[in-house]
Amino acid sequence: MRSRQRMFAAVMRLLLKCLRLGRRRRFKLVRQVEQLWQYGHLCLHSLLYNSFTNGDVVLDSLFEPVYWLVDHVTRWFGVVFVALVIGLTSSIVAIVYICLLPLILQTYTPAWICWHLAYGHWNLIMIVFHYYMAITTSPGHPPQAKDDLTGVSICRKCIAPKPARTHHCSICNRCVLKMDHHCPWLNNCVGHYNHRYFFSFCLFMTMGCIYCSISGWEMFRDAYAAIERMKLLEKERLQVAANQTYYQTPPPTFSFHQRAFHKSVVYLWVLCSSVALALGALTLWHAALITRGETSIERHINKKERQRLQKKGKVFRNPYSYGGWDNWKVFLGVDVPRHWLTRVLLPSPHLPHGTGLSWDLPPCVTKQRAPLLAI
């Protein structure tokens, strides 16, 4: 009897221990869930920790993985984009020399032949020169020795002083002087030392595409009509061949050389027209920025600063703008009138004004403006 009582008591003690252990595990699981909930709530609350946070900051935080992926893809595919630009441009030049130039020499008057030869080769030289310089020229970086470097802020990525108009490129992983943007078609940043080369390339490439589109419009219409006739005659030839034996099939109406010629003309006109529209819009956009004396990044900064000062009843003025005409002279490096020929209409490797570290008044500016609000 006593042995049964002892056994029953032992079983009850074991059962109580199991219940206590299960209760502890349940409490531990509940505590973990509460900790995760508090951590998630803290992360969400950190996005709205002050009055300066808005929807843009939240979206930037959510899209940070996308930005990281785009930065790394752009870095590795830059060489592919450069090869694509060189390949497409070379194909257009080859079509012009092989297909169009002999036709121009046979049908045009001597005056028009001289015009096309002079303008076409000048435009091609300007495109090749400025694209090569934009790729190979460094945009400019702050010096490694930081003793004498005057910075207006500290770069959060480099942990180093950052001069005025300098921004960090996440693709190059370096600070760039007067950074405009990172161009994948150049596989390089557009900054202080190669900004002029980039814009000149866009301008002359747009001019070249417009020139090819206008000059080849009549040939494009004839080539497109010839291709349509080829398709129609090919259908008729196949219908006739279906009712005859193989040795009675009529030969092709158009030769391989004719087909290649017409398709090359259509390819040239379509590609040049598309590039002229897309690159022309980009060129106009950058021309407007140059006229205002700001870069693509500074446009967003100036817009926010303008809105902030407007709420306080103040007027914001860009401290790096000297007026539309003087901004173009500073950007192109035109100090005297003859520079419009030697530095703008002819290939010129001259350096821009200043070092990109400080922004003193350039000598080509006609008059100094009143003191301006700094960014």
Active site residues: 183
Side chain identity at residue 369, one-letter code: R
Strand runs labelled E in the chain: 153-154, 161-162, 167-169, 174-176, 181-183, 188-190
Cβ atoms < 10 Å from Cβ of 51: 6
Q: List, as one string, the DSSP characters of 203-249.
A: HHHHHHHHHHHHHTHHHHHHHHHHHHHHHHHHHHHHHHHHTS-GGGP
d(CA 236, CA 243): 11
Where do we find the tokens 């010839």? Answer: 226
- DSSP label at 113? H
- For residue 139, what are its two tokens? 């945009």
Task: Assess contact for 206 and 280: CB atoms under 8 A.
Answer: yes
* Diameter of the chain measured on Cα atoms: 131
What is the number of helices (H) and of strands (E) in the chain? 11, 6
Look at residues 115, 122, 127, 176 and name the one whose alpha carbon lies nearest to residue 275.
Answer: 127
Report the 10 Å Cβ neighbour count for 88. Answer: 13
Residues shown for the chain:
375
